[in-house]
Every structure is written in structure tokens, then in C-alpha cells.
Amino acid sequence: MDNFNLNAAAEAAALDPYNPFPFPDNCNMAQIIFLTFMYAYVLFNASNLISDGSELLLLVPQLAPVVGSIVLPILGAVPDGMMVFFSGLGPDAQNQVSVGVGALAGSTVMLLTLPWFLAIYSGRACIKNGKATYNRPPNVPSDSFEKLYPPGNASLTGTGIGYGPEIVEGAKMMLMTLVGYFIIQGCAFRVDVMPKDDMSHGELLLAQTKE
């Protein structure tokens, strides 16, 4: 009975013309475009506030060491967690949660790829003797020194970046955390090719549940 009342309330809210969060099914194309720009504006300002606040926290000596390692990851994870959490509160929770998890996975993959590529591409320098030439050699005049020579050089073997031991440790940690995903994905590939009659037995073995 509670689920029925919840579904009825959700349908009534969806049809309410004064609902501040209208469903896309009840909007025309102009309204959807307007809502998209509004959400983008809110996200843009929110990201700027987070960025400015993080820079101000770096000015506090007591908080500076934990800003990059604790505060910023929490600020980035909380909105994603709330997005997945609220996506499961509607009447069609299973499909909505799958959409929320897909958006979370997509944002995570984007953060691991696009900003990383842009940072490496923008900070690259010419590589000589296996090292990136960030510093000007003593025998080179300052007016003729260029980190990239010729300017705009995008060689895959002649340009690169320098990295410290923290990057190596972080890469090892990332590879270690991927082990669980490989196990789950390998089991999923194994179960996916099974006939339907044998699939339940595979899920029983992996999840340790009873039919």
C-alpha cells in the first residue's frame, strides 16, 4: 500500500504544472533546452565556488596538507553519491539507479582521461637524454631557450613530462584497485555466455545465495 501511495504521489507530482523539477516527458524542446542551460549555469557556478574555496583552504597552514588528499576527493564524491542516491528514490528505481551509476562511471572515466591528457599535453617539454628540459641549461641564453623546440612540437617520442615518486605510487594503487573490477568483469563474461538454465547456477556460485 505504501508503494502504491508513493507511485501515485510521484505521478501526481510529475503532472503538476507548478512542479519546480518537471519531468522531461512533460516538456517541449524549448523547455528542455532552457532547463539544460539552467542546470549548466548552476553547475558552472558551483564548480567555481568549490575551486575558489579550495584555493582559500590552501592558504591555511593547518589545512593545506589535507586539502588535496581528503577535502577535494570528498567534495567530488559527495555530489556523485547524492546523484546515485536520489536516482533510486523514484517508482522505477532499478532503471533510474542504472542511469545514475552510468553517469557516475562516465564522469569518473572522464576525470581519469580528459584532464590527465590536457595536463600532460600542456605541460610537455622536449626530452633530452631521457629527461624533460624544464630548466634552462647554463650555456643557453635565456632569450633563445624554449621548452618545446620547435614551438608547438607534439612528437610522441621527443616530448614528455617529468614525474615524481608520488605518481608511481599512485599508479600502483590504481592498478591494485582494478583487480576487483577485473574479477567481477571476468565472472560477468563467463556467466553472459551461459544458457539461461545454467546462469542461475553461476550466479548462485558467485553470490553465495540460494534460489
Instruction: Quote the number of domains for the chain.
Output: 2
Q: In degrees to the nearest 10, what's the CA dihedral of 170, 173, 179, 181? A: -60
Within-domain flag for 81: yes
Domain for residue 121, yes or no? no
The domain of 15 spans: 1-89
Higher local confidence (pLDDT), 15 or 208: 15
Compute the CA torsion angle 107, 123, 175, 87 (nearest 10 deg): -10
Q: Could you tell me if 64 and 57 are in contact, meaning their C-beta atoms sit under 8 angstroms apart? A: yes
Task: Say if 119 falls within a structural domain.
Answer: no
Label residues 52-82 b or e (16+ Cβ within 10 Å = b). Answer: eeeeebeeeeeeeeebeeebeeeeeeeebee
| Contact between 66 and 49 (Cβ < 8 Å) | no
Boundary of a domain, candidates 39, 68, 89: 89
- Among 57, 89, 121, where does a domain finish? 89
Instruction: Read off the DSSP letter of residue 33.
Output: H
- Domain boundary at 49, 66, 89, which? 89
Cell representation of residue 160: 614528455
Residue 77 included in any domain: yes
Q: Which tens digit of pLDDT belongs to each residue from 147-180?
A: 777 777 777 778 888 888 888 888 888 889 888 8
Give the tens place of pLDDT for each residue, 63-93: 777 777 777 777 777 777 777 777 777 667 7
CB 202 within 8 A of CB 190: yes
* Torsion angle in degrees (nearest 10) through CA of 59, 64, 69, 75: -40
Could you give the residue ranges of the DSSP H alpha helices within the chain? 2-15, 29-58, 64-66, 72-87, 93-122, 165-192, 196-207
**Is 125 domain-assigned?**
no
Q: Answer positive or negative: Cα dihedral of 128, 155, 122, 106.
A: negative
Residue 102 falls within a domain, yes or no? no
User: Is residue 135 pLDDT above 50, yes or no?
Assistant: yes
Q: Specify if 187 maps to a domain.
A: yes
In a domain, 157, yes or no: no
- Say if residue 200's pLDDT is above 70: no
Give mean pLDDT, residues 110-121: 83
User: Tell me, what's the pLDDT at 41?
Assistant: 93
C-alpha–C-alpha distance, residues 192 and 211, integer Å: 18
